[in-house]
Structure 1
Amino acid sequence: MILIGFMGSGKTTVGRILAEKLAIPQFDLDEKLVENLEMSISEYFALHGENAFRQKESELLAKYSHAQAVISTGGGIVLREENRKLLKNRKDVIFLSTDTNELISRLQNDKKNIRPLAQDKTPEEIQALLEGRLPFYEESASVIIETKNKTPEEIAEEILFQKNEIYEEVNK
């Protein structure tokens, strides 16, 4: 199962809950990138640029996409066509769709995660970034989960319900 969505949409948090409920590993691609790069994403961006970062991200998606695990992707995973193709060929790609105002609030209040593409951006710039990616999220997802006014636990439960529906349909 692969979780996609904009930065701050809850992919990591919901992914951890799902992995625990399903008793399978959870791979957070951003965490794996930091491990592999031996530096923060912000540092890598500053040294090598976004294109080099996206290449590393694509390599990790390809590596982990076949694992029996919950995979939480970075918010920009859908920007590369090769990633969208990989995602579209799966029946278990979940887009966590989150209200723009809620995303902006989360990003502005998150002191733990430094997001190079959101840092020093106005709410209008973040909204424009989200709107530019929205068609790619929708194109890549098998299931869209609206997260507004839901706890991570409620989102995970909805995904599990959807997962059962998907597998029942596939096995008919």
Structure 2
Amino acid sequence: MQGITLIGFMGAGKTTVGKLLSKSTGMNHIDFDDKIVEEIGMTIQEYFDLYGEDAFREKETTVLKKYIDHGFVISTGGGIVMRPENRELLKQMKPVVYLETAPEVFIPRLKNDHTTVRPLVVSKSPEEIKQVFEPRISFYKESASMIVSTDQRTPEEITEEILTRLKQR
């Protein structure tokens, strides 16, 4: 297996599942948000405030190109699918697993997560967060080679399903 790339909206569990997959497969885990923070030398919120979303998306593309086909478990940022170039790169990175999560599940997670600042949803209402999410759904599905529902499931159950489905390929 050349690696596993996880995509999905903020609060879908990409980092948590990524760490579990890393443990199960022995592949190193890379969290794109952490890598980007490392490269830019500031928080994502600070970068957004100074340079805007377009500059951040460009940085995501740079990181994506750096780690394509290197045998890592990769947890991408929730908006990586927003650039057409990124979607094309993701299609080359089999398997790409979309952690499909309903707003009713991820919105409470986002509201209760005080460890990460998420510039596109900070101080937004649930309805506004859904407006950020909905245009991305088709991009997630277009980019994924596997879709796994996370609703009402533990990270361990999700990880087991991914590993089982990968073995069946």
- Which TM-score band (shorter chain)? over 0.9
Q: TM-score by structure 1 length?
A: 0.94
2:64 is the alignment partner of 1:61: yes
Tell me the distance in 1 between the aligned counterparts of 2:20 and 2:104.
Answer: 24
Tell me the distance in 1 between the aligned counterparts of 2:141 and 2:168. 19
Which consecutive aligned stretches of 4+ in structure 1 deviate over 6 angstroms post-superposition?
none
Structure 1 residue runs without a partner (length 5+): 167-172
3-state secondary structure, aligned to 2:74: strand
1:54 Cα offset (Å):
0.4
SS at match of 1:57: helix
How many equivalent residue pairs? 166
TM-score, length of structure 2 as denominator length:
0.96
Q: How does 1:18-37 map to 2 (within 5 A)?
A: 18-37=21-40
SS at match of 1:33: helix
Q: For 1:96, which of 95, 99, 110 is the aligned residue?
A: 99
Shift of 1:139: 0.4
Of 101, 123, 131, the residue aligned with 1:128 is 131
| Residue number among 88, 94, 110 corresponding to 1:85 in the alignment | 88
Cα contact 2:5–2:94 (8 A) shared by 1 = no
Q: Is structure 2 residue 146 aligned with structure 1 residue 149?
A: no
Deviation at 1:88, TM superposition (A): 1.6
Residue identity over aligned pairs, in percent, reads 52
Q: Is the 8 A contact 2:11 2:110 kept in 1?
A: yes
Separation (CA, whole Å) in 1 of partners of 2:25 and 2:139: 27
